Structure 1
Amino acid sequence: MSDPHSGSSVPQVDVPYRLDWRAAGVRIGAHRGKVEGAGGLFRDHDLLVRSQDPRRIDLRMSLRDPFGNLYVKRFEQKTSITVYALVDLSASMGFAGSVDKMDVVANLCGALAASARRIGDSFGLIGCDETILPKFLLPATRSRGTEADMVADLRAYLPAGHGAEGLLEGAAYLAGRRKLVFVISDFYWPRDLMEAVFEALSAHDVISIVLRDPRETRDLPRYGLVSLADLETGRQRLYVMRPSLRAALMHEEAMAAKALRALAVRYGRPPFQVMGRVDWDKFGAYLMGEAA
């Protein structure tokens, strides 16, 4: 896979994803389902008197039964799922360093939407700061007509909200049948909010995508005057940078990443970190279970 150009309307990249659970939907798709159907993967055998479809009688299995029962093959119908991107659009997501975070968000959402549509899944978007933002509340659909507008709107948006509490509203919006939910954020949240969001999404298959930029902490100088801003509040403070302070800031970031990983693993999958631009090959391998 190649990195889609930031100026393109919809990223031209396939994002494969694999589920380790059976979907309950009835619409034919690409995923293993709970519903019995005429095609798909072989699931098991059942007695003809229970699964009354003589077209699927397995003579070999039936002849092995000493009681003379007739058996039929049962198959699982492949089905489609609903995919959502639950996106943090609070002020910290407006950071532009080596890359623009909103450009990365737009690329991710565009690629996920196009990939979901190509295999028959529906895709929706919920963008939040303190509340759900109406402009970025797009119910799940299989239509490709909304992809270009969604990507363009995300790319042009300048986050300004002082908090991400709206993600809890977004989680409530997703109540119902199990979905695949991509939570896209830099995860600069209070610990209690982070735990509440993961708990609210516990009924779904949650993939957390952590956006980081090297210039936020890693590229800080060892010495000198540095003005650091809290992007959630807009407050700035001047620091005299020195090795010990730089090490402390990097240690704080490492501890926050460790806490997030522990929380995400408790509810399912480990998070995927994007440092700068998206490595699409690495992301695809992660989604297919080949990398953590």
Structure 2
Amino acid sequence: MGFNNTCLACSKECSLQCSDCRVVHFCNRECQKSAWKHHKAFCKSVTNPAVSSHNKNTTDNDDDQRQTCVIIDGFGPCGANWDDTIKSREQLLLCGMDVIYINGTKGGSTLPVQVASLLLQSSSSKSPPPINALLFWGFGSGGDDVSDQKFYESSHFKAVVISWCANGGRFIVQGERTGMMGNWPMWFDKQWKDSDYYRTDHKCFAVSAGTGNDDMADADFTAANHHHWCKWYKESDGAVVSTYNVKACMLENVDPTEVLFGTTDDSQSYSLVPSMSGHRIEEGKTAVAFGKYGSGTVSFFGDVNHEHATIQIMTVIARGEATTV
């Protein structure tokens, strides 16, 4: 037996599964009762995913084509289920991806173990379906109400996520600062570090020349001027933007091939606050980093302030429409 077969209540190895979600294990009914307070919300989320209208009419033979994204929410100052989380969930469903929404303010200290068990279980069977993407909203923003759910301190969670990602998983983090979450990029051999926190314009360096999109034909997007690494697919017009205006915690030490939206050498910050306006932003600072790890990908999105473009970009990455070449 392995980690996935340990009792959620007492951590002993056992073989009895939760009869509803079939993800976590319990030694007996007494252990199940003692852990139910912290398992109830997770169990209901896993057994009742939001299914996209596209997938409602699929047959059993089409199940292998379905994609599922798990959203872990509630790690930012706005708490769980705020406006941007709702928008991201809606966007994923519209694009044909099922969503398992987990309220991170519930589940206590066992939540990292439960999420890790979900990834392990989905990799070994069709019940629950395979998890293609894991999206953390506010992960690293330092929300006080979930201070006991320290995913970055769970060695089990870390090991499972690293393996899952190496085998094709898409690990996506929206947050304020990576360091608040134990410098998780290091899990994936990334040297990404926190940098300035300003509002500025960022340009997409992932759109290759010759895409056929006239809006992206200007010299700033030619391969001669910028590194191009990602292959983008468009769901619809406007799904991929060329310039990105964002108030964000930017990153530095990002390899040029992993800068998805970055700054140029003439970039300056602007703000209604005089002290935060007019600062020079060094070229290469990025609000969105997108890196390869094994056959999977890892992404970081700086702080989000109801920017619709961010929701669209997250959706593209969660669905695997931005892939490595």
- Range into which the TM-score falls when normalised by the shorter chain: 0.3 to 0.5
Higher relative contact order (CA 8 A, sep 6+): 1
Query: TM-score when scaled to structure 2?
Result: 0.33
Structure with bigger gyration radius: 1
| TM-score, normalising length: structure 1 | 0.37
